[in-house]
A and B are shown apart, each in its own frame.
Chain A
Amino acid sequence: MNIFLNNEPEILSDGSTIKKLLENKNIKNTYYAVEINRKIIPKSHHETYVIKDGDRVEIITAIGGG
């Protein structure tokens, strides 16, 4: 299926969960948040939440700023 990941097109295998996506992308950051279609998906749901075709997924973190 096709999704948008951080505003870029991305191909993902059907039935992928958020956890699977994070593993695929080798994201080991402790501090991150995930939004799908502008809705925050709490970390406690990442293992079970299945991403759907066309979803807009945002993976967000903290960076340097004033």
Chain B
Amino acid sequence: MSKLIIDKKEYSSRLILGTGKYKDFDETKSALESSGCEMVTVAIRRMNIGQDQASKNLLDYVTPDKYTILPNTAGCYTAKDAIRTCEIAAELLNGEKLIKLEVLSQSKTLFPDIVETIKAAEILVKKDFKVMVYTTDDPIVAKELENIGCECVMPLGSAIGSGIGIINEFNIREIVENATVPIIVDAGVGTASDACIAMELGCDGVLMNTAIACAKEPNIMATAMKYAVIAGREAFLAGRIAKKQSGSPSSPKAGLVTGE
């Protein structure tokens, strides 16, 4: 099975996990291990100076030697703020320039602001950042972001944290079929079948956070997501049968022991 390649690195797992909303770092670490993921997103924020500095930090649990750390620009509403956050992230991670770009439009839906996203992507690519970009499920915008030079294009399945799943499978399929860079569904996954559908549509990976972190049992859901992504990928590679209006028996008609 072909591997996922991002910024010249091969990944066996096609599942990328966020590290927000977990009860504590132990729960985060355990869920990441159960999921088998190899890349995790982190947020960039002011350090809590008042806290006990001897206490552990996220990257003591989720270590960069084990996981590819993907800093995000979550919470940024302008290209300018997103670019500033990326520059800080690169300094913080000792020069690593792989980033998840998200520029939001408003706090209710958390839908991306496409104009600011494109503006930021153009500048970041010129600054040699490897941009994994969160966007809408609009195929035209996805292609534009690819043309700009983004490393991966990451359309939403539905709103961040909504758990609705993939609203527009037709658009996701269209994006995948037109792409020459990895397409990763980012946001909206609620349960394992949503991740599986994303992969069956031909996506190269799935990025999720809330579906695992806020499940009643994050560890078990992480395992479910691991298998869902594998199942969906293999089903895509295997090629599904066409849907038919009528039934078609699986057992041969010849040799049937019935009648007189």
How many chain B residues have a CB neighbour from A under 8 Å?
39
| Interchain CB contact under 8 A, B49 and A64 | no
Nearest CB on A from B71, distance (A) = 6
- CA–CA, A62 and B43, complex, Å: 6
- CA–CA, A55 and B91, complex, Å: 20
Nearest residue (CB) in B for A31 is B59
| Interchain CB contact under 8 A, B20 and A60 | no
**Residues 206-243 (chain B) with a chain A CB within 8 angstroms:** 207-210
Binding site for B on A (CB under 8 A): 5-8, 25-33, 35, 38, 40, 42-43, 58-66
Chain A residues with CB under 8 A of B93: 31, 62
Binding site for A on B (CB under 8 A): 18-22, 28, 41-47, 49, 53-54, 57-60, 64, 69, 71-72, 74, 84, 87-89, 91-94, 160-161, 207-210
Query: Majority SS of interface residues in chain B?
Result: mixed
| Interchain CB contact under 8 A, A64 and B42 | yes
Give the A-B contact count at a CB cut-off of 8 A. 106
- CA–CA, A27 and B21, complex, Å: 24
| Interchain CB contact under 8 A, B49 and A5 | yes
Pick the contact of A33 from B18, B19, B21, B88 — CB < 8 Å?
B88
